[in-house]
Structure 1
Amino acid sequence: MTRQGWKRPMLLPVILAVALVWAGSAPGAGAAGSEAAALSPDEILDRVEQNLQGDTRRSVQTMTLSSGVSQLVRTMEMFARGDDDLLVRFTEPADVAGTGLLVLGDDMWLYMPVVGRARRIAGSMREASFMGSDFSYDDMSALSYQDDYRSELLGTETLDGVSAYKLALTPTGESSYSSLTMWVDAERFVILRVDFFKGGTLSKTLRASDVRDVQGRPVPFRLEMVPASGNRETVIRLQEVRFDEPLDDGLFSVRTLERGR
């Protein structure tokens, strides 16, 4: 779901939660050869999205911000329900512990303990850097994207030794990005790389790697976002992730967000 007139950009979360799912037994996996070759771009994206989604997702991740010799490492928990609801909460270090991001459908709030109350994130603020990283608020909140972009299959390429579909995605409405170029593993339907463009100019690149099996699903344990300038990067590493486990309905609320734990 997206609010009218605004299209949330895709970010595997993780993506996050950003991005997390695949295996021979998972929906849409293992389709290679002639069947895969016959797929339309919409069908490719549908397989990717099927792989990314579960009823619920719960994960622990580290976010490492690197610039030159400077490096910051933060730990966060992430909870997701379907493709609409997301809670991100930082647990370490002490200066960011309790800080959280809540997404409920088209609405988004940020809570910082030093402020003491949740603040709604709206409009152009959603394009701003999330906690000083190379991910924007919109990047972190993007749990679904198929309906927000018009897709075109540009062909197949070998990326890091893997046969991949190359797709061009153009937003169907207002968006943080003018277009995306995406590479998808042609066998496992894992997103391997996304180039984000603003005004036709490359803005940043997301790379997913270290794919491991989790509950019968291949999951990328490393997400790297690098701006076009190349002078810094943000790396998200999964420490643990579980799918389809019960989550309390009260977890996804501003009240819970403001408790900071």
Structure 2
Amino acid sequence: MKAVIMALLLAGPASAAGAEPSLHDLIDKANKALRGDSSHGRLTMTIETPEWKRSLDIEGWNKERTFAFIRILSPAKERGNTTLRRRNEMWVWLPKVERVIKIPPTMMHSPWQGSDFTYEDIVKADSIVKDYTHKLLKTTKEEGRTIYHIEATPLPDAPVVWGKVLTDVALYDDDQSVIPLNERDYSERGELIRTITLSDVRIM
């Protein structure tokens, strides 16, 4: 199964000229690039499995990586379904049955709208910043940017799902902006479970 998301990416603030950025700062800026301090956008998510394929048009708001409001615009049968995040709590509004459901901890690992993303991904959007230590594996120089290949491992007793996360982020030479490129999530047994790739990144 794969989910394809078109998103607006905003780069974080610049580092001091000539200073080598810390891995924590790189991860934090890459995470902020996806959401900013606050953001609003419309996107299309395509979910594809060997048996079926469907697309959802979604509108979402985000504030301080702590609050989120996500509403489905189409298809018609799911229009109005809404997800609300308030810090570490989450609710779902189902207009067809006029019902609000609070998502319990036991359901946080459940797929959101049948995708590879879970409710926990929404609640812990900045988990890779706060709940992991970061190790530089290598750097790769490309025209106009440097790619940092980073391994993230959970802090002791951190409430996370993944046993290891490998991520690549790009630091651009001209304005020191940071953009995430991909993320590979591994189980505690070292099995690759999920790959997230961001492509065709543009300033809008």
Matched, 1:44 2:65: no
Instruction: Count matched residues.
Output: 191
TM-score (norm 2): 0.82
Query: How far does the alpha carbon of each residue in 1:44-97 deviate from its partner, in whole angstroms, 9 at most, with x for none?
Result: 223324544534211111111112373211111101111110000001011111
Shift of 1:115: 3.7
Q: CA–CA distance in 2 between the matches of 1:132 and 1:83?
A: 23
- 2:202 aligned to 212, 223, 246, which one? 212
Distance 1:52 1:92, change over 3 A: closer
Distance 1:178 1:84, change over 3 A: same
Question: 1:67 corresponds to which letter in structure 2?
Answer: T
In structure 2, list runs of 5 or more residues that go unmatched. none
Matched, 1:165 2:151: no
By relative contact order (CA 8 Å, sep 6+), the higher-ranking structure is 1
Distance 1:73 1:52, change over 3 A: closer
Question: 2:61 corresponds to which letter in structure 1?
Answer: F
Q: CA–CA distance in 2 between the matches of 1:63 and 1:186?
A: 27
Question: 2:14 corresponds to which letter in structure 1?
Answer: G
Query: How far does the alpha carbon of each residue in 1:102-144 deviate from its partner, in whole angstroms, 9 at most, with x for none?
Result: 0001111122234422111132311111111111112234432
Matched, 1:178 2:163: yes
Distance 1:208 1:29, change over 3 A: farther
Matched, 1:198 2:187: yes
Distance 1:68 1:52, change over 3 A: closer
Runs in 1 of length 4+ with deviation above 4 angstroms? none
Tell me which residue corresponds to 2:130.
Answer: 147
TM-score (norm 1): 0.65
Let me know the Cα RMSD of the aligned residues.
2.7
Question: Helix, strand or coil for the counterpart of 1:210?
Answer: coil
Q: CA–CA distance in 1 between the matches of 2:37 and 2:153?
A: 28
In structure 1, list runs of 5 or more residues that go unmatched. 1-13, 215-261
- 2:81 aligned to 90, 99, 104, which one? 99
